[in-house]
């Protein structure tokens, strides 16, 4: 009987080791963290760019009648990405220009203050040799970030993010999926 049990354990171990499926990481609450965007759905971010999201996000995305605003939230509310640059009569797709210069000229700010936090990290979005955007973010437990995208030669505020540090990798992967529309 002991040999049968040992054989069964070895057989199960061999079967388990042949499983090459990559499983998403899991948060402390048991929610998956997705970092492989190959099967994510692409949606409109604004009239010039698209963005991809994994399953588990809700919200309308880009909507509007007199200009666009955008909102997508992780179902467990651990990540929220949005923009709403609205005045009394209409909404703009972009907010303020990037203060401190042009990344192409090498004058990009290293850090910036936003949402009561100092944003010390950044991700540069490129396509070929073209820089399309810069995402600045903090590494606080309740982090914030701001994305600047290229619009007619100027980097402008384009998306705001709030996220728990546990889902930071997922949020950065979402940001990295942003592409200019063709």
What is the average pLDDT score of the chain?
A: 82
Give the model confidence (pLDDT) of 125-161 as tens digits.
Answer: 998 988 999 999 999 999 999 999 999 988 999 999 9
The pLDDT, as a whole number, for residue 11 is 35
Residues with Cβ within 8 Å of residue 173, at least 6 apart in sequence: 34, 35, 36, 37
In this model, does residue 89 exceed pLDDT 50? yes
Fold classification of 25-180 is Protein Transport Mog1p; Chain A (3.40.1000)
pLDDT above 70 for 18: no
Q: What is the pLDDT of residue 83?
A: 95
pLDDT of residue 102: 56
pTM over 0.85: no
What is the C-alpha separation between 109 and 85, in angstroms, rounded? 22
Q: What is the pLDDT of residues 127-136, one digit of tens each?
A: 898 899 999 9
pLDDT of residue 99: 72
**Angstrom distance (rounded) from CA 50 to CA 174:** 11
pLDDT tier at 105, thresholds 50, 70, 90: low
> In the predicted model, what is the mean pLDDT of residues 28-48?
86
């Amino acid at each position: 009987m002991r040999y049968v049990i040992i054989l069964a354990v070895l057989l199960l171990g061999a079967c388990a080791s042949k499983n090459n499926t990559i499983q998403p990481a899991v948060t402390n609450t048991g929610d998956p963290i997705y970092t492989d965007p190959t099967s994510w759905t692409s949606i409109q971010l604004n009239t010039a760019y698209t963005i991809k999201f994994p399953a588990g996000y809700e919200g309308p995305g880009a909507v509007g009648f007199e200009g666009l605003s955008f909102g997508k939230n992780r179902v467990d509310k651990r990540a929220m990405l949005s923009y709403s640059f609205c005045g009394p009569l209409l909404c703009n797709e972009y907010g303020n220009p990037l203060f401190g210069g042009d990344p192409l000229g090498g004058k990009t700010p290293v850090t910036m203050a936003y949402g009561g936090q100092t944003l010390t990290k950044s991700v540069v979005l490129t396509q070929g040799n073209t820089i399309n955007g810069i995402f600045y973010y903090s590494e606080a437990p309740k982090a914030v970030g701001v994305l600047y995208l290229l619009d007619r030669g100027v980097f402008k505020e384009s998306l705001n993010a709030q996220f728990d540090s546990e889902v930071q990798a997922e949020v950065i992967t979402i940001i990295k999926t942003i592409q200019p529309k063709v």
